[in-house]
Structure 1
Amino acid sequence: MKVIGVTKFGGPDALAIHEVEEPHAGPGEVRIEVKAFAVSPTDTGVRAGGRDLSQAGEPPYVPGMDAAGVVDEVGEGVTEWKEGDEVMAIALPLRGHGGAYVQELVAPVDSIARIPAGTSFEEASTIPMNGLTAVQILEKAGLAAGQTLLVTGAPGLLGNYLVQLAEQEGIVVIADAADKDRALVESLGADHIVPRGDEFVAAVQAIAPHGVDAIADTALLHEQAVPLLREGGVFLAVRGWQGDGTPGVRFEQVMVFDEYHSHTKLDRLRQAVEDGVLTPRVSEVLPAAEPGTSADAHRRLEAGGTRGRLVLTW
């Protein structure tokens, strides 16, 4: 089968199409004929060698944490899935069955869920990694209805999902947006929208003069955002930042790799899409088998400004 990966870590041009042996589903697993996979910032870190390599195995090293496709093989003991089922899956690059940039993905049954009704494979492939990250953020924040969450990087896909899921729980959301992204963030239902840049801090303080209850820092503002928390507030970091030691602040690291066996949460995300709470967003669909396409997708993602996910299809 074809996979997209690297034999030597590096820039986008290190990505290439490789032929590898076809995998098969083991006990408690299914094999998915992948129709679409999303390109995320985590993937660029895998490609560049910036992730834990202790379980990486042999090259090619395959990125990708999001896939959608059709079950085409069912392992021993699996009764809840059958061939032909349309599913979405979270994958783990550099360990286990590897990343999602593949034609055939083997997945434990608790790492998949049905795609939302009325949703394309391309749309469904944007849900697992960012959706589960958003769910973990809200779980670790532990906010009650009426408490305040500041979402930085709200126009990005993780920010989109966070705003929508938090609003569903009755949390008051303050979200940032540049002028060009304001309409998008407004459509998500944020209670307050503040400008990015020099006016950001003052604008948040004007809304929450005593500090917000939690910050989900998807824009990686780090120290700049910490003072906007109230005493006892929680700061949720998505790239492993451990905090700056500010007293009275609970710093939490969000690790979506911990959600590999989170079928129940992934199925709740399916329901959220079907209920109109969560909106999958595809920026553009690109042909995976065309040489150079994956490298171009990584270059565009790293350049910034992408709204929704670039999705590759076989």
Structure 2
Amino acid sequence: MTNGNPGEATMRAMTYDRFGGTEVLSATRQPLPKVGPGEVLVRVRCAAVNPVDWKIMSGGLKDLMDTVFPVVPGWDVAGVVERVGIDAPEFAEGDEVIAYARKDYVHGGTFAEYVSVPVRCLAKRPASLSWEQAAGLPLAGLTAYQTLTRLGTRAGETVLIHNAAGGVGSLGVQIARALGARVLGTASPANHGRLRELGTEPVAYGEGLTERVRDLAPQGADVVADFVGGVLDATLGVLAEGGRHASIADDTVTRSGGQWMWVRPSAGDLTELARLADEGRLTVRVAESFPLDQLADAFELSRSGHVHGKIVVRP
């Protein structure tokens, strides 16, 4: 990782220096990240692709977050602690960790050989998951976990999850089950078998969805988690009296008493997800793995929407 002089340490990274599609991605060498107070340097074993990565690259969040070019994209990571910064006693060199490594601005991400990560984002890697699975857990897992827990999901309640076979939804159904809830999940019929394996009662998308849910749960759903968008009418049609609902894809839910969700880094929540994984109650499905220099192909596969499971990249 060095050129002989520690002051000239560099690493391989995928970067872009302007907004656009996958054509703006390049394989480059970048300075090794500085390790500030409360941070550790992580040697990346695997990093996972999330739709937000290519949406940011296209400029979709430029009005929400500051961007410093060149950008190394990526927020999900599983790796090994290479160096510990000042005031980071929670971790030691050699620790195997996972993180949703979102920082306060867009610049130094996880599609590289190394990434600096604040300890507020880090948790120990669950031993039960492979490196690829572990890398796919943080962002999607935290999104599902924080949505369900902020809605106050309790044992014995009925939960409906829209897009239950998706990356966030498939983790959401497992988390809801771990919380003791009965889980209904919307998905295309081709994915119903997978949902049943996860302990979920599948419901087909499309016209008649409200009636199909009501047939299974006549009193309605106590909690509805929308992980796809465009389903507010169906949500309100199946919501039980006093029920709670939230969406990660439709901010209009706030007009009908719902919550508009955005995931935040949380070492505590990530540690809880790791615990569920090691107890055998949570697993991550990996769809495909790419080498670092094929990140553009990984992004294009993610953009296609025709993937079931996480896409991971190996530096």
TM-score (norm 2): 0.90
Stretch of structure 1 that moved more, 13-22 or 66-75: 13-22
Stretch of structure 1 that moved more, 212-221 or 85-94: 85-94
Is the Cα–Cα contact under 8 Å of residues 71 and 106 in structure 2 kept in the other structure?
no
Looking at structure 1, the residues matched to 82 and 115 of structure 2 have their Cα atoms a distance apart, in angstroms, of: 10
Q: CA shift at 1:275, angstroms? A: 0.5
Amino acid at match of 1:127: L
Determine whether 1:40 maps to 2:44: no
Q: CA shift at 1:305, angstroms? A: 2.4
Determine whether 1:274 maps to 2:284: no
Is the Cα–Cα contact under 8 Å of residues 62 and 93 in structure 1 kept in the other structure?
no
Is the Cα–Cα contact under 8 Å of residues 72 and 107 in structure 2 kept in the other structure?
no
Cα RMSD (Å) of the superposition? 1.9
3-state DSSP of counterpart to 1:89 = strand
Looking at structure 2, the residues matched to 72 and 280 of structure 1 have their Cα atoms a distance apart, in angstroms, of: 25
Determine whether 1:211 maps to 2:212: no
Looking at structure 2, the residues matched to 105 and 193 of structure 1 have their Cα atoms a distance apart, in angstroms, of: 39
Question: Where in structure 2 are there 5+ consecutive unaligned residues?
Answer: 1-10
Question: What is the aligned counterpart of 1:109 among 84, 101, 119?
Answer: 119
Determine whether 1:123 maps to 2:123: no
Determine whether 1:252 maps to 2:259: yes
Amino acid at match of 1:105: V
Q: CA shift at 1:135, angstroms? A: 1.3
Q: CA shift at 1:86, angstroms? A: 1.0
Q: Which residue of 1 aligns with 2:302?
A: 301
Looking at structure 2, the residues matched to 220 and 240 of structure 1 have their Cα atoms a distance apart, in angstroms, of: 5
Partner deviation per Cα, 1:76-96 (whole Å, 9 max, x = no partner): 132221111111111116717
How many equivalent pairs are there? 304
Q: CA shift at 1:8, angstroms? A: 1.8
3-state DSSP of counterpart to 2:31 = coil
Looking at structure 2, the residues matched to 23 and 129 of structure 1 have their Cα atoms a distance apart, in angstroms, of: 22
Is the Cα–Cα contact under 8 Å of residues 61 and 94 in structure 1 kept in the other structure?
no
Looking at structure 2, the residues matched to 89 and 19 of structure 1 have their Cα atoms a distance apart, in angstroms, of: 23
Looking at structure 2, the residues matched to 145 and 118 of structure 1 have their Cα atoms a distance apart, in angstroms, of: 25
3-state DSSP of counterpart to 1:146 = coil
Determine whether 1:239 maps to 2:246: no
Amino acid at match of 2:243: G
3-state DSSP of counterpart to 2:251 = coil
Amino acid at match of 1:309: K
TM-score (norm 1): 0.90
Q: Which residue of 2 aligns with 1:283?
A: 287
Amino acid at match of 1:184: R
Q: Which residue of 2 aligns with 1:142?
A: 152
Question: Where in structure 1 are there 5+ consecutive unaligned residues?
Answer: none
Q: Which residue of 2 aligns with 1:19?
A: 29
Q: 1:2 to 1:239 in 2, by over 3 A?
A: farther
1:60-209 matched pairs, under 5 angstroms: 60-92=70-102, 95=105, 98-190=108-200, 192-209=201-218
Looking at structure 2, the residues matched to 26 and 93 of structure 1 have their Cα atoms a distance apart, in angstroms, of: 13
Stretch of structure 1 that moved more, 220-229 or 172-181: 220-229
Is the Cα–Cα contact under 8 Å of residues 10 and 48 in structure 1 kept in the other structure?
yes
Q: Which contiguous aligned blocks of 4+ residues in structure 1 show a shift greater than 3 angstroms? A: 52-55
Stretch of structure 1 that moved more, 85-94 or 132-141: 85-94
